[in-house]
Amino acid sequence: MDLLSRIQCPADLRALPESALPDLALEIRSLLIETVSRTGGHLGPNLGVVELTIALHRVFDSPHDAVVWDTGHQAYVHKMLTGRWAALDSLRQEGGLSGYPSRSESAHDIVENSHASTALSYADGLAKAFAIGGRPDRAVVAVVGDGSLTGGMAWEALNNIGAAPHRPLVVVLNDNGRSYAPTAGAVGRHLASLRDGAAASVFEQLGLAYLGPVDGHDTAALEVALRKARTLGTPTVVHCLTRKGLGHAPAEQDEADRMHTVGPAGPPSTSQSWTSVFSDEMVALGASRPDVVAISAAMLGPTGLQAFADRYPDRAFDVGIAEQHAVTSAAGLATGGLHPVVCVYSTFLNRALDQVLMDVALHRLPVTFVLDRAGITGSDGPSHHGMWDLSVLGMVPGMRVAAPRDGDQLRLLLREAVAHRGGPAALRFPKADVGPALAAVGRLGSADVLRWGLAGAQRSASAPGGTWQSGSGLDGASGWRVSGQIPASGCAGRPDPTPDGVLLLAVGPLGAAAVAAADRLDVPVTVADPRWLLPVDPELVAAAAAYRLVVTVEDGGAHGGYGDAVSRALRSAGVHVPVRSLALPQHFLAHGSRGAILKARGLDAESIAGAVRRERPLIE
């Protein structure tokens, strides 16, 4: 680290002789490989932009000049060259460096965008602001990957940038031919033709100047091109050709992009992830339902659709980083008689709310949305925590939302969602390993009872004839079958209408923590998994009348979440039972492990038990 240790700010980098830059690049790559392999993070993208980032900070004077990184997962080198190299070993660790640009970390991080295709719009606004403010000395640079150009927002920005030739702005196109996978669609083909010198640039046709292609690993050539772009005085694209993973053979040769993101060092997990369970079930579903098709926004692999695409290549569509197009294309597929399954990270569905609302739900189309990374995602931080989906989807008329508690339920609920023909449905699950299966011991409407409260358990055990009824299934405690409608008193197995105890409704994988919490308490607590969160089951609402307190537990935002939906449903039905909602605060939560964040926000077993204890006056 002889050279890197001298760099506390970009001015120190500019003071280095050009002859020292190859050795600096080697030091940076060495530190990236050693550190990211241990902490986890985006290794391949950062190895590919080492020389490009060096050149940027030698030509432009950050933060006086605004450098905006699209997506931001390739900004580790930028962090190192702006004085944070010594803290890289804390990357993505609780209290450490973010895996994306972070305004709280440094003035050099202008925006902390970690969703793709946004940098050009930020840059357009910054360039306008500097012009209006009389600051023509402040340059604006947007670093955009080729994959980000598959997103429609990028072209909306280019449409405006190209229309203002008097307003300078530098677009650095980092072209490595892929995002998570080879760049989808006609954009990828056009960039390939530019690399071959076989076509006129579409950017020039839109009114931007075009320089390149430039070797993105030749610092001297990059500096020449960037300095020229800065002096042209007009919006300019600098087309840089880079190799993802350069300097680390496993990453360079990684055609499947397994080293786009690497996990932290440690023994491999022996459990299946939620994504892999979904992946297996999608393949099985495809065999039995030839009308099922799959759509991904540039993430066939990360969302678990690659196996489906390999088995049914004519029924899988990667539309690029274009969530809005993915949803409305799904609407077209559904209108044409197919059943599309749209797989995106939970937080990315926010980008297509209008399309979900007006293009799918308005037409009551049978589209299934599979939301990976729902709830707390951990090390990716605030932009990736999937804590908004229930709040968003709760506004959509006719939308049904399910949350599986274990792998068995994921398989079952996916099939129930795809069988639903009356409108859209969504299935949400976290970024985590699937825990042990939790058996149901009864039903409350469509909800599975995971644990009866003491009074309920005593009464159900004293009824060997199985006279109580509540949906269908087997009571795991006694083995007798229950079926039919829930009694007016509300609680299966408890014909006495006298309110008693707590009904704890736990969303998805939090069912295990809820059962563990109930076991810690000395009051009657019935734990139920609602399975289908939205709309709230009227039979579950009726069941709530038999309890003194209802507590909901969810790993989503409190405002507009499942707890709010339950409260509204109880009020509408005239069921006057107090409701306490345990959920995530409506804040942007920092990165950290999923378990640590859930505990800090009161969503682990002990915290849930403590929350119920505090309500004891309502229970007794």
**From 281, 323, 539, 554, the catalytic residue:** 323
Closest C-alpha among 572, 298, 308 to residue 418: 308
Q: How far is the C-alpha of 552 from the C-alpha of 558, rounded, in Å?
A: 10
For residue 474, what are the β-bridge partners? 481
Known binding residue 576? Answer is no
Q: What is the largest CA-CA distance in the chain?
A: 88
Q: How far is the C-alpha of 446 from the C-alpha of 476, rounded, in Å?
A: 16
Known binding residue 164? Answer is no
Known binding residue 248? Answer is yes
Known binding residue 57? Answer is no
Backbone dihedral region of 72: left (phi > 0), alpha (psi from -120 to 50 degrees) or beta?
left
| Beta strand extents in 437-488 (DSSP E only) | 442-444, 447-451, 473-474, 481-482
Say if residue 63 is preceded by a cis peptide, omega within 30 of 0. Answer: yes
Q: How far is the C-alpha of 17 from the C-alpha of 223, rounded, in Å?
A: 13
Dihedral sign computed on CA atoms, order 297, 298, 299, 300: positive
Neighbours of 103 (CB within 10 A): 12
Q: Is 539 a catalytic residue?
A: no
At residue 239, what are phi and psi to the nearest 5 degrees? Answer: -90, 110
Q: How far is the C-alpha of 213 from the C-alpha of 498, rounded, in Å?
A: 77
Q: How far is the C-alpha of 482 from the C-alpha of 456, rounded, in Å?
A: 15
Q: Is 351 a catalytic residue?
A: yes
**From 244, 400, 411, 428, the catalytic residue:** 244
Closest C-alpha among 614, 611, 540 to residue 577: 540
Known binding residue 247? Answer is no
Backbone dihedral region of 159: left (phi > 0), alpha (psi from -120 to 50 degrees) or beta?
alpha
Closest C-alpha among 360, 137, 337 to residue 233: 137
What are the CA-CA distances from residue 531 to residues 1, 429, 434, 443, 569 (Å)?
53, 12, 16, 11, 16
What are the CA-CA distances from residue 396 to residues 47, 366, 391 (Å)?
42, 14, 10
Q: How far is the C-alpha of 12 from the C-alpha of 615, rounded, in Å?
A: 59
Closest C-alpha among 459, 242, 402 to residue 251: 242
**From 79, 84, 167, 351, the catalytic residue:** 351
Known binding residue 160? Answer is no
Which residues contact residue 184 at a Cβ distance below 8 angstroms, ignoring those fewer than 6 apart? 150, 298, 318, 319, 320
Q: How far is the C-alpha of 75 from the C-alpha of 77, rounded, in Å?
A: 5
Cβ neighbourhood burial of 413 (10 Å; 0-12, 13-18, 19+): buried
Query: What radius of gyration, in Å, describes the C-alpha atoms of the chain?
Result: 27
Known binding residue 147? Answer is yes
For residue 402, what are the β-bridge partners? 427, 532
Alpha helix segments (H runs only) across 443-510? 454-461
Neighbours of 128 (CB within 10 A): 15
Known binding residue 114? Answer is yes
The residues annotated with a catalytic role in the active site are 244, 323, 351
Q: Which residues are annotated as a binding site?
A: 73, 114-116, 146-148, 176, 248, 323
Q: Which residues are annotated as a binding site for thiamine diphosphate?
A: 73, 114-116, 147-148, 176, 248, 323
Q: Which residues are annotated as a binding site for Mg(2+)?
A: 146, 176
